[in-house]
Structure 1
Amino acid sequence: MIGDMEQLPSTEAAVDALRSIASEYAREFEVTHDIGADQTSRRSAAGVGVTADPDGSLPHEAFVEFGGLPRLSVRLYPEDDALISVEGVEFPDVPRDDVPAFLRSVLGGLAYVSARRFPPGYRLIVPLPGDRTYKERLLMVGLSPWLSARVR
């Protein structure tokens, strides 16, 4: 198993780490791979039939969905970052090496929603080891039952 602080050098290593986390928390796991510059989402200008980057490398992107609640998905980009969605709340530009700790925080019950009275608003807060946190604003009308149960 790849540890939280160990570097994930490739998309495939990151997928293996996520598969291990899914197993650890008894979650279903589904992955879709997009390989080649003409298939990855950030290289739409690559042109038809162009599979390699100008440096000759083959970009590899993966989309992972976890079963159960909370609804979780992770899009791993070739540029060593990820887009994580928790109950529809998107956390863009999460470094690939932070993804395992992020998911363990959510699945381990450490993530919570902070509520503010004025101006009214909510934030989903995901704490990571080393006093690091990720925060994203939520729409007040968009709180799912899972998010509502974590309001502090």
Structure 2
Amino acid sequence: MVTLTPIEKSLLVELRKDARVTVSSLAYKLGITRATVTNMMNRLEERKVILGYTVLLAHDDSLEEIRAVTLCDIDTRMTQQVIRRLRDFLEIQEICATSGVWDLYLALECHSLSDLDKLLHGISSVNGINKIQTHILLSRMEN
């Protein structure tokens, strides 16, 4: 587990609000120098706290891909091998360990239903995966 300083936590809060904010603006908001902000961001990237920067798109059906959630029951003696193999699938956006009946949660994004079908066949053929259950996400509920 990574331990963050209060100023690092504040920096991450600001970056979550707007990842394109300038270093100068961050320095002003945090009350530190631009060089300190740059060094802190570099250290957070090196420590794998910051994995990247992204663009959030407005909700637009024409931009959406097929999104799904897959739950996996695995041979827990093979957890690391299964996870390494699952990381080879570019369509898997997230892998989480879970409690309860299922061992892994996978967040998936595909271009089409046929691509999703191929992906699910690939996932289910991974050595160590006993069974999977998939739920296609139909719509996002806005607050």
Check whether TM > 0.5: no
Hey, which of these two has a bigger chunk of strand by percent? 1
Hey, which of these two has a bigger chunk of helix by percent? 2
| Largest Rg, 1 or 2 | 2
Category of TM-score, reference length = shorter chain: under 0.3
Structure with greater contact order relative to length (CA < 8 Å, sep ≥ 6): 2
